[in-house]
Amino acid sequence: MTLQKKIYEGKAKIIFSGPKENTLIQYFKDDATAFNAKKIKVLEGKGEINNLISEHLMKILSNNQIPNHFIKKISNREQLIHQCKIIPLEVVVRNIAAGSICKRLGIKEGKKFKDPIIEFYYKNDKLNDPIVNNCHIISFGWSNEKELLKINKISLKVNKVLKRKFEEISISLIDFKLEFGRKTSDNSLVVADEISPDSCRLCDVNSHEKFDKDIFRYDKGNLVDAYKNLSIRLGIMK
Ligand code: TMP
Ligand code: ASP
Structure confidence at residue 114 (pLDDT): 98
> Does residue 128 line the site of ligand 2, with CB under 6 A?
no
* Antiparallel, parallel or unpaired: β 112-122 and 78-82: unpaired
Interval 175-227: pLDDT, tens:
999 999 999 999 999 999 999 999 999 999 999 999 999 999 999 999 999 99
DSSP 110: T
Alpha-helical segments (H) within the chain: 46-63, 100-105, 134-139, 145-168, 214-217, 223-234
How does strand 84-86 pair with strand 78-82?
Answer: unpaired
CB of 124 within 6 A of ligand 2: the answer is no
Ligand 2 pocket member 123 (CB < 6 A): no
CA distance 195 to 66: 13
Ligand 2 atom at minimal distance to the Cα of residue 12? 1
pLDDT in tens, 2-20: 678 999 999 999 999 999 9
- pTM across the whole model: 0.97
DSSP class of residue 5 equals P
Of the listed ligands, the closest to the CA of 129 is 1
User: In this structure, what are the phi and psi dihedrals at residue 54, rounded to the nearest 5 degrees?
Assistant: -65, -40
Closest residue by CA, ligand 1 atom 5: 99
Give me ligand 1 centre to Cα 184, in Å: 27
Length of the chain as a residue count: 238
- Measured in Å, how far apart are the chain's first and last C-alpha atoms? 24
Tens of pLDDT, residues 77-135: 999 999 999 999 999 999 999 999 999 999 999 999 999 999 999 999 999 999 999 99
